[in-house]
Structure formats: C-alpha cells, structure tokens
Structure 1
Amino acid sequence: MTRLPVIVGFGGVNAAGRSAFHHGYKRMIESALPPETMAPTWQNLATMMNLDTTGGLTPELIETLRAGTLIRRIEPVHFDVDAVLYQHKADIHGLHGDMEFTARRNQLPRHLPENWEVTAVTGREVTVKVTGATPALFPEHKKYPVSSAGQVPTGFDAASMYRSMHHPRALTQAVYGASDALNSLGMDWSEILKHISPDEVSVYAGSALGQVDDKGYGGLYQTELTGGRTSSKMMALSLGEMAADFINSYMINSVGSTGSNVGACATFLYNLRQGMIDIQSGKARAVIVGNTEAPVNPAIMGGFDVMGALANDDNLRRVDELPDGAPVDNRRACRPFSSNAGFTMAESAQFIILMDDELALATGANIHGSVPDVFINADANKKSISAPGVGNYITIAKAAALAESLLGEGGLAQTFVQAHGTGTPQNRVTESHILNEVAKLHGVNDWAVTAVKSYVGHSLGPAAADQIIASLGVWAHGIIPGIKTIDHIADDVHNSNLNILMDHHDTGSLTAMRGSVINSKGFGGNNASALILSPDETLKMMRKRHGDAAVAAWQQRNEPVAETAKRNDENAIKNGVPIIYKFGESVMDENDVTLSKEQITLKEFANSISLASKHPYGDMTP
C-alpha cells in the first residue's frame, strides 16, 4: 500500500501568536469562544509578549494582548513608518569657486577623486580642497506609503531565546517555530529514531525570499555601500534553504534528505508535496516541512508596492472614502473578496511534522489530520509574469476530484476552502471564479470559503502553512474563522455556489467538516492546492488500511504521548517554548563512520543505514 502522510505535530509563530495546540487559531476566533477556553491562549500571549500576569487576566491586559497581535500598524522594531531613512543624491560645489572641508584621515577614500587635494594635516584631521563639484549623499526621511503589516506579537523576540549571534530574523523565528512543532509531538525526536533508519528522515524548509534583513542579503548588498562592513555569516545565512540546514544541524541531528523548494506564494505547498512524496514512496518515514519569512522590511515592501500589489495607505483611504492624510484602519487592511486595495505583508514561521501511517501507529503519535495529495500546475503562456493564469483551475479541480473520490459522492460539500484570499482586486475575481466553477461542477451550492490572511496577512513562503494550521484548529474547536474585516462581498466576486464566510461559522460538530482544500496562487504562475483530511477521516482510513486491532493498540500508546504533549503545552504557556538549539553537540567526523558493503553505521545513531538496494528498473542481469 502507498503510505499515508499523517500530520503528527505542528508549531510556529505568526501575527496570531504561537501555532502549536491551536493557540494562534484561537486568537483569530476568540469572539466565538468562552472565556475559560481563551484563558490559556491569553496567558500564552502574555508570556510571549513579556507582560506581567500576576494581577490576573484583567480586561485591560486582554485588550493589550489584542492590540499587540494580528494585522496592525507597523511597529518601530521593523522601521518607523513616519520617518524611513533614505539617501538623497546631490552634486555640491563651493559658492565662490573651490570648496574646503575637514575630515578624519581614516574617513577619506584611499583613491582621492581627481578634483580633490589634501591641503593640510592636523593630527588625525585633514583639510581637503575640492575644485568644481563633488557628489554627495544626504540622509533624508520620508513617510512610508504602507503602514499595515502582519507582525509577530509585540515584544516577542525569538533571537533572545537562544545563542543567536548574527542570525537573520527569519532564521531566529524558524528556530522558535521548529522548536514549537517538535515540542507539540509529545515525544522526543530520539524516540522516533528508535523506529527508523537515520536516513528515513526528510526536512524541507526555507524561505521564498531568503533572509532579507541587515544580517542577511540586506546587509550583504548594502553594507559596504553605506560605509559598513560585511560579516562572514551574511552570505551563508542568507541562503533560502537555511531553515532546513539549521533543523538538521542544530535541532534533530539529521542525515536524511533535505532541501527547499521555492514557488513564490505557494512555496509551503511545494515543500509539503515533496515531503508527502517521500513518505508515499517509502524514502522517508518522518518529515519536517516548514517555511519562514520576515519581509516586513522597507525595501521588500517597497518592491511589492511599486507593482501595485500592496494595500498602501492612499489606496485604503480611497476604498474607505477618507480624506488625504486621514488615519487608515490598519486592522482591516486585508479584505479578501470585498472592496479592497491590495495584500498586506506579514512575517511568519510555520512547521508541520509528518509520519507515515505505520510509524504513527507504532509510536502512538497524535493525529491531527493527513495529506493525501498536493497538486501543482503552472499557468502556461501569459502576458504578465505576475498575473494569474489557468493553472489554478487545474489544481483546484484535481483537489476537488480527490475529495469526491476519497469521501464519496457529495463529499466535497463536507469540506471547506482555505482560500489564498490575498485581498487584491484581481484575486477576488479570479480565485472566486475558480472556486465557484468547481463547486458548480460537483453540485455544491454553498461551499464554505474563508481566508485567514484577513487576520495574519500574507507571509509569502509560509502562507499556506498559516492556512493549514488554521484548518487543524477547526477540527479541534468546530469553528471556521470568518473574514471579519469585510462587511460585504464585492459585486465582481463569483459566489453563486460559494458561502464566503463573513462571520465565524460553527460547523455543528468536530466531524462535520471531513476535509479542507488549501489554495495558493503565486507570482510567476506557481499554483498549488492540497486536500487535508480531518483527524476523524484520517483514523477511518487507517482503520480500513490496518484494522481495528492496530488502531486500538495505537490508542493505548497514544495516551502517554497525548499527556506529555499536554504538559509541554502547559509549560510553554507559562514559561515559553523550550528552544532546541544544539550547537556543537553530537558532532561526528570520519572517525565516527563505519562502512561495509551492507550498511553504514554512525556513532550517534543506534540504527544503521542499509545499503541493500533492489533497483526499480527490472531485471538487468547480463
């Protein structure tokens, strides 16, 4: 049998807070939950935000927690939206011919321009005479055109939680997010390795943009031009797959398969598909899939803004019919399927841990759902590389057909859609048309559609993981998050067969929704759609595949695992997520490798790696 990829752990951080144990999801739907259900999540946010809770979860504290989460005005930790630094170029010259200035000797260029002459030296200072004009850059500040973004909770700093010298922001958040996911397992990673070979692990994680802040590519490209110095870590730590490298080398000690696929805004689903294929083929039995992005950065956001893609303040005022200069509603910057102005940039780091169904049964792992397939199709020829095309029709149609096949006739109506839902005028038309036509095709009259970017913004690479992890919450609490930033559906949205949720939707039971279709549309024609099955549906499949006795045995094994996971969550709520970062530990070299024709043995692993191989191309004996 083809092995089924089962979701056994997840974690991360985005604008809603910590992802594991559904805390970020609960922040989104807090108005639909009773106070006692929300209390641990509020406490967890207070811990993340370094706020004092000795006086209890007062209304004032909860309001502070609300204000410091989800999409909001860009905070100074990123940049000052009222005074962004830039350089103004000018040619300057003396009023009456030559010009003189003084400077420290070590501040002068080694090769003086031809029209410069050093006329005097006084200690460490020199006097320079300039004949004619000379170029100069003057520091200047300007009001940034975009003031909204999805940011991790106010006061949260992943870099302060471990020895993170010179690590770019996205990498520090990856260490936190992967630690959160591993903590959610309810078992140590070493316990998993007792059941599998060391090479039966895959890690696919990275960033769509790479590391773009001043400790990564941002510094690498600009430091010497602005008078700074390039660090020895900037180049290596900027690479897109660095999140996977950190997980392998400093977190789980992995010698398995690794890498990072990039597909613009569909990047997470590209990596999920690779992990799924490894499990289905038997090449891996445990997989970590994730993405991290920290693009709340003036240069990166400026690039998207000049494309007309972002919800900048002028466009938000236009939509809301506000006068020039009026404050904008940062909270409602992202408005999928309504009158809108563009997407809202966000930071996020999200990780999902998969096992094949046999390993999940053997270890007693928690089962949060499964990934039967991920579909990826390009857009073919088109006029603009950034425009949507035909590929997403194929991916959604395939995902819907798979849902009908697995869940039976009419099964698609028992799923809901986590739409790409960026909040751009073009997306609301194109994505709604795709979803509406597929719903018509299968006779679904009110296919439930939501879009969590309205809460957390568009995190580019991790965006689909934001959507998937919110879907897992639906099966834990029975509520699909509504698109609360909108008050109407735009006239050009196709929704005759869709139920685009403008409010939280109670599904009636935890098993009412049997699956979720996750959709991603990326610049360049990168389209991906996945079908995620509910925990209940996953267990039904596992029972059919392995029998009642195997599932009953799993339930017994799961009891201590679930209890450990619960204790891990309680500890993280009070004390923060314990960061896994094993720099310099369990390092192996050539002396720790034992080779034979049959196997490779590594000192740090109990199980050997088999070299016995039957090639897949038939009998080739001469």
Structure 2
Amino acid sequence: RQHPRSLAMTIFGISDAVKSLGISWDEILKIVPREKIGCISGCAVAQADKFGMGGMFQASMAGSRVTSKHMAMSLGEGSADFGHAYVLGSMGMTGNYTGACATFQYNLKIGTSMIQSGEALICIVGAAESGIVPEIYEAFSATKGLAEDKHLLDLQKRLGEDCSQPNHRKICRPFGENIGMSLGESAQFVILMADELAIKLGLNIHGSALASHINADGYKKSISGPGAGNYLTVGKCLNQIENYFGKEALNKTFFHAHGTSTPQNRESESHIISSLAKTFNINALPVTAIKSYLGHSLAAAGGDQIISTLGSWKNNWIPGITSTPALAEDVYSENLNFLLKNLEFNDANFDFAILNAKGFGGNNGTA
C-alpha cells in the first residue's frame, strides 16, 4: 500500500527467488557473512506511478502536495534497497547498473563479476519495472514505436486475419509483419552464488551465468537508433562458448532475441544474429523472442529471457514466436532457425542460451 508498483513487485519477486533455494534464508545467514551478500536491481525509466516520481511531478498540478515518501520512492535503485532492507537483511554491494532495455544484463554483469572476484559469495540480481502509466505510454507512443489498436486492425486486415476486433494476444509479432512494441510489466530475480557454497549447501542449481557483455554503439546519427555495439556483444558470447567449450557447443546453443516487434528491430537484430551465426559456422541457430508473450518490460526484459530459459531446460520446451505467422521479407534468416512454433527437445540438445538486449542510447547487453 502506498508504494510504487515496481517496489511491491520487488518484494514478491525476491521472496519467490529466496524461497526457491531449497533451504531457509535464515540458515544461509548463519553461514554467509551479510557483507558478502549483494543485491543489484532497479528500473530503467523510474518508479513512475503516483506513489513515486509520477506523483512527485503531478502533485502541484493535481492541487496536492509532495509527500515525504515521493523522493525516496523515485530512486532507480529502489528495488535493490527494498531487497536488502525488507527481505534479505544483507549488507553487501548494492545499486542498479542502468542500461535502458538492457538493464537486467547490465546488473547480471555486476553480479557475476562480484562472485568471480570474491567480493560476494551470494548476489541477488534482478530488475523491476512498472511502466504502464499514462505518461510512459504517451512517451513511447510519441516515438512511433508503440503498437496501437488502429494499426493492429490494419495489419490483421492486410494479412487476411479476422479484423472485427483487435487481437491483443498477437499484438507483439517479433520478426514478422509488425507495427510496434507492446509495453509489459515485470519483476525478475535470480540468485547467483559461488559454486562451492551452492554445492556445500545442497541448493537447487538451475544453471550458470557465464558472462554478460556490454558495448556502446559509437558514433551514430540517432540516439534511439541501432548501432554497431550489439555485433560486439553477441560475437563475444559466441566466441566465449567456442573457446571454453569447443565448436560443437555452438550447435547446442539457442538464442533469445530482443525481438521488440518493431520494423526497425526485425531488420537490424536479425542481421546481427544471422551475420554472426554465419561467421561462427552455425548452420541453424534457433531464435525465439519471449516478448511475443509478455510484451516489453523494459529494465526487466532480460529477466524475462533468463527465467524463460531456465524453464526451457526444466521442461525441455522452448516457447516459439507463435504470434508471428511468417517472417517479414526484410528479415535476415541465413544460418538461423526462427522458431515460429514451440520446440520440444531432448536433454542433450541444448547446453547454452544467449540472451540479447538492445536499448535506447546504444545500451547493448548480451549474456
């Protein structure tokens, strides 16, 4: 009550992650020093509803007053603050590495680095974003990158689909004929831990976060347009897999695309993935995009990808881009296998997943 939605979502999300460990958190606190437990999480846009920054800016226009909570509840790293204070009781590294739509991948980089360096034994990594408020919606709409009902009906008519009403289940169509992205809200958290500690405690181990790479775009004419940096981040991930695990490991890899459902993204991101699959001699790299189900949750989008990936390994099932009936003509598909249907697989088929994010400003993150 009287907290921004994303901070309330944080409490739920971190609590859920902690309760999935297989051991009580109190038992872990008896073994691990609190200063060795970090929490890195936050939002990309802001705590934008009326209980956070939105309410602070709206107060005078609404004939109200700014409360003592508004400023504190506006801070971008509030999700990490709430995690330490209200769930974890931890005293280690804190903060949020903001990187637009790649924020989760940015936070994952901090978390993995802390574990690898020994600065932390445990690091809770995540992001929480509640961007479905009028001001944020209008801002994205002004960029002409947001899908709206009128254009959706036009698309359904053009593709010969039922156009009596908007089909919102298929409003987000990555790599197909599409009209823009759909906003979503999400809070996603994973718990990173030093290998020896996780094994000693007998915890549920779902996977390993090997690396997260970040590169800017360099010179470009539009701050919101795509650039060269994402070629570097994706290439580094593929190169690491090949170097550490051998060339055959690349054929046991699938790819979670950023897949925002904009015409610009379908062309630019497909070119990146296709070019690098060709460079690394991957014949048919499977590509999916979880935004086709969840929309774009902004900072937490990478978290949606990683939780979907862990679910795929648990259930031997990769959700396909089922909202997209066919690839658009300007999509690059050489050396790629766009999964337009769900894919069931055997345990031995996939050992690696690449999670890609391309954010405004040239914020490219790939894990």
Question: Is the TM-score greater than 0.5?
Answer: yes
Match 1:457 to one of 271, 295, 306: 295
Distance 2:165 2:68 in 1: 43
Match 2:359 to one of 514, 522, 525: 522
In structure 1, the partner of 2:68 is 232
Distance 2:250 2:132 in 1: 37
Match 2:22 to one of 183, 186, 199: 186
Distance 1:475 1:250 in 2: 31
1:12-31 matches, within 5 Å, as none
In structure 2, the partner of 1:369 is 207
Contact kept? 2:34, 2:89, Cα under 8 Å: no
Partner of 1:473: helix, strand, or coil?
helix
Match 2:266 to one of 425, 428, 449: 428
1:453, CA displacement in angstroms?
Answer: 0.2
Unaligned runs of 5+ in 1: 1-164, 531-622
Q: Give the structure-1-normalised TM-score.
A: 0.58
Contact kept? 1:290, 1:465, Cα under 8 Å: yes
1:298, CA displacement in angstroms?
Answer: 1.4
Q: Are residue 410 (structure 1) and residue 252 (structure 2) matched?
A: no
Contact kept? 1:410, 1:442, Cα under 8 Å: no
Distance 1:391 1:523 in 2: 12
1:326, CA displacement in angstroms?
Answer: 5.4
In structure 1, the partner of 2:154 is 318
1:203, CA displacement in angstroms?
Answer: 0.5
Distance 1:191 1:254 in 2: 13
1:190, CA displacement in angstroms?
Answer: 2.4
In structure 1, the partner of 2:321 is 483
Partner of 1:265: helix, strand, or coil?
helix
Structure 2 letter corresponding to 1:494:
Y
Which consecutive segments of 4 or more residues in structure 1 shift more than 4 A?
Answer: none
Q: Give the structure-2-normalised TM-score.
A: 0.97
Partner of 1:193: helix, strand, or coil?
helix
1:68-87 matches, within 5 Å, as none
Distance 2:169 2:54 in 1: 28
Contact kept? 2:11, 2:86, Cα under 8 Å: no
Distance 2:41 2:58 in 1: 26
Deviations 1:572-619 (A, max 9, x none): xxxxxxxxxxxxxxxxxxxxxxxxxxxxxxxxxxxxxxxxxxxxxxxx
Structure 1 letter corresponding to 2:203:
A
Unaligned runs of 5+ in 2: none
Contact kept? 1:166, 1:233, Cα under 8 Å: no
Higher strand share: 1
1:421, CA displacement in angstroms?
Answer: 0.6
Distance 1:449 1:286 in 2: 31
Distance 2:263 2:151 in 1: 11
Contact kept? 2:40, 2:94, Cα under 8 Å: yes
Distance 2:267 2:241 in 1: 24
Distance 1:349 1:513 in 2: 26
RMSD, aligned α-carbons? 1.3
Deviations 1:457-508 (A, max 9, x none): 100000001001000011111111111101101110000110000000111x
Distance 1:192 1:296 in 2: 36
Distance 1:366 1:186 in 2: 6
1:206-217 matches, within 5 Å, as 206-217=42-53
1:189, CA displacement in angstroms?
Answer: 1.8
Higher helix share: 2
Distance 2:67 2:169 in 1: 37
In structure 1, the partner of 2:138 is 302
Distance 2:4 2:199 in 1: 38
In structure 2, the partner of 1:293 is 129
Distance 2:91 2:263 in 1: 45
Identity %: 46
Distance 2:306 2:243 in 1: 21
Structure 2 letter corresponding to 1:529:
T
Q: Are residue 218 (structure 1) and residue 62 (structure 2) matched?
A: no
Deviations 1:155-201 (A, max 9, x none): xxxxxxxxxx3111111111111111111111122222333322111
